[in-house]
């Protein structure tokens, strides 16, 4: 049977390299608040919601205000410090050329998504923001996604929970082994391999 339908993509470190803008924004938070942040630790958790990361460094009553500081800096940095990852545009195009929808499902807040997409020139058929882990699975089920492409173990778990093929790309903070252990159905080197994989995956098997 030919596999068709909507394909979901994570954003940060799956479609775009936003690490410089993210780390620069955390550094700005540290400067403006006087609270030291370990950027290596933040990088190791890359992919979670901003507020969940800030909870590692600030008491609950300070998180909302600190998130405002981060996003104010991120919007400025995104334009010059965000690049599309290799194969990102081609992966989205491969889904569309097959007559299917390519959507983005990300933990990023919508305020930060728009400048990121503008900087990279990427466009999706729909964008779902501020969802992570099981929340992504809810979105994937609701839109009937047949595959979800991401760079974190949480992305792989979300894809599996939604009954979609979890496609891993170790282009973020997690290794091929991390993604495999989390339940990836397939792990690609990066998105340059996606169009060929997608073409083969959609081709009916003949007995």
Q: What is the pLDDT of residues 19-54, one digit of tens each?
A: 999 999 999 999 999 999 999 999 999 999 999 999
pTM over 0.85: yes
* pLDDT at res. 203: 81
Q: How many C-beta atoms surround the C-beta of residue 196 within 10 A?
A: 11
What is the tally of structural domains in the chain? Answer: 2
CATH number, domain containing residue 63: 1.10.150.240
Helix, strand, coil content of the chain in percent (nearest 5): 50, 15, 35
pLDDT of 3 above 60: no
Q: What are phi and psi of 150, to 5 degrees?
A: -155, 175
pLDDT of 205 above 70: no
The verdict on residue 50 lying in a domain is: yes
Domain match, 51 and 142 both: no
Largest pairwise CA distance in the chain: 65
* pLDDT at res. 204: 63
Average pLDDT over the chain, rounded to an integer: 95
C-alpha 183/C-alpha 191 separation (Å) is 18
pLDDT of 118 above 80: yes
Domain match, 112 and 38 both: no
SS3 assignment, position 11: coil
**Where would I find the beta strands (DSSP E) of the chain?**
7-9, 16-17, 83-84, 102-105, 126-128, 147-150, 165-168, 186-187
SS3 assignment, position 160: helix
pLDDT of 62 above 60: yes
Q: How many C-beta atoms surround the C-beta of residue 121 within 10 A?
A: 9
CATH number, domain containing residue 168: 3.40.50.1000
């Amino acid at each position: 049977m030919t596999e068709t339908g909507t394909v979901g993509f994570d954003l940060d470190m799956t479609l775009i390299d936003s690490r410089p803008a993210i780390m620069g924004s955390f550094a700005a938070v540290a400067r403006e608040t006087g609270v030291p942040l370990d950027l290596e630790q933040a990088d190791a958790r890359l992919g979670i919601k901003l507020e969940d990361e800030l909870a590692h460094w600030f008491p609950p009553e300070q998180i909302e205000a600190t998130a405002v500081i981060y996003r104010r800096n991120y919007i400025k940095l995104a334009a010059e410090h965000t690049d599309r990852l290799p194969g990102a545009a081609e992966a989205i195009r491969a889904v569309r050329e097959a007559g299917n929808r390519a959507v983005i499902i990300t933990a990023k807040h919508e305020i930060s998504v728009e400048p990121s997409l503008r900087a990279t020139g990427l466009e999706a058929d729909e964008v779902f923001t501020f969802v992570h882990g099981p929340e992504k699975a809810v979105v994937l089920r609701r839109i009937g996604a047949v595959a979800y492409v991401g760079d974190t173990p949480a992305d792989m778990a979300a894809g599996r929970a939604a009954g979609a093929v979890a496609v891993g790309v170790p282009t973020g903070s997690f290794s091929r082994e991390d993604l495999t252990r989390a339940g990836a159905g397939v792990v690609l080197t990066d998105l340059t391999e996606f169009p060929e994989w997608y073409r083969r995956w959609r081709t009916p098997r003949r007995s």
